[in-house]
Amino acid sequence: MHTHKHTCAHAYTYMRTHTSAYTHKHTRAHMHTHAHAYTHIHAHTQAHMRTRIHIHAHAHKRIYMHARTRTHIHARTHTYTHAHMHTHMHRHTRMHTQTGVTDRAEPQVHKVDLNLNLHMHANAPRTTVVRVLCDIITQCQLQSHSQAHQSCS
């Protein structure tokens, strides 16, 4: 008789950054990230998952990102893992000039590559899945925030 554990986690995050330079150039970056993970692991199964995540965020476009996961099973049962995330990035730049104010959207592209080594056991609690998702989103935010500052320099 096989038992299984069903874990479903949702993580929402909203990041707003504001950067300014001495050239009176103000750049606002708005990124909305939605992460959904569905994990179905049979009991007494240890899975070693390596996930590479690619995020492409373009101005005024909604980006759907799928995580490719390589799973190595060291048991007789199987593991099903699905991860889905989409990112919405909006960048708006306002240029202050002597003749007036002009608004234009910058088609900035942000690419984030993450290599994760996850070792999740069958009896992993729900908080573990949520924590992993939060770590992923945090790294995405840090890299996007860093690139936003670099674009103003």
Q: Which residues contact 26 (CB under 8 A, 6 or more apart)?
A: 18, 19, 20, 93, 94, 96
pTM over 0.75: no
Residue with tokens 């995330």: 85
- The rounded distance, in Å, linking the Cα atoms of 112 and 15 is 16
- The rounded distance, in Å, linking the Cα atoms of 111 and 137 is 13
- The rounded distance, in Å, linking the Cα atoms of 92 and 69 is 34
List helix spans (H) across 4-152. 126-151
Nearest C-alpha neighbor of 122 from the set 69, 74, 85, 67: 74
Tell me the mean pLDDT per 10 residues along the chain, length 153.
43 41 46 48 45 50 50 44 46 45 40 41 52 61 52 42
Residue 46 is predicted with a pLDDT of 44
- The rounded distance, in Å, linking the Cα atoms of 85 and 44 is 28
